[in-house]
Amino acid sequence: MCKHMNFAAQVNVARMEDTGQFMADITVRCSECNVPFQFLGMEAGIDTHGARVSVDGLEARIAICPQGARPNPLQRMAFNVKRFDG
C-alpha cells in the first residue's frame, strides 16, 4: 500500500477573453502511485469571484487576479475596522 508521501501538482492558469478575469485550475496526485487527490470543503461548479471544485472533486478552480487589482484580505480587514469605528 502506498502511503502517499510524494506529490505532483499542476496549475493551469487561464484568462477568460470575455470578462478579462483569471482562473487557476489545480490538480494534485501522488507521484508514486498516481492516485489523484480530492479537494475538500468547496462547492462544485465555477465561481469567477471565488473557489469551486469540479464535480469529481479532483480539480480546484480558483479565481485569481494580479496583485493590487483587488483589495487583499488585510486591506479588507482594515477597511472593515475603519467602517466599524466611524
* Per-position DSSP letters for the chain, written without gaps between them: ------EEEEEEEEE-TTT--EEEEEEEEETTT-PBPPP-S--BS--TTSEEE-TTS--EEEEE--TTSS--HHHHHHHHHHHHH-
Number of residues that bind Zn ion (CB under 5 A): 5
Interface with Zn ion, residue 33, by CB under 5 A = yes
Q: Which CB, 1 or 74, lies closer to Zn ion?
A: 1
Find the binder of Zn ion among 14, 32, 38, 72 (CB under 5 A): 32
Work out the burial of residue 60: count CB atoms within 10 Å of its CB; fewer than 13 is exposed, 13-18 middle, 19 or more buried.
Answer: buried
Interface with Zn ion, residue 29, by CB under 5 A = no
Interface with Zn ion, residue 4, by CB under 5 A = yes
Q: Which stretch binds Zn ion (CB under 5 A): 7-15, 31-39, 57-65, 68-76?
A: 31-39
Output the smallest distance, CB 53 to Zn ion, in A: 21
Interacting residue ranges for Zn ion, rule: CB under 5 A:
2, 4, 30, 32-33
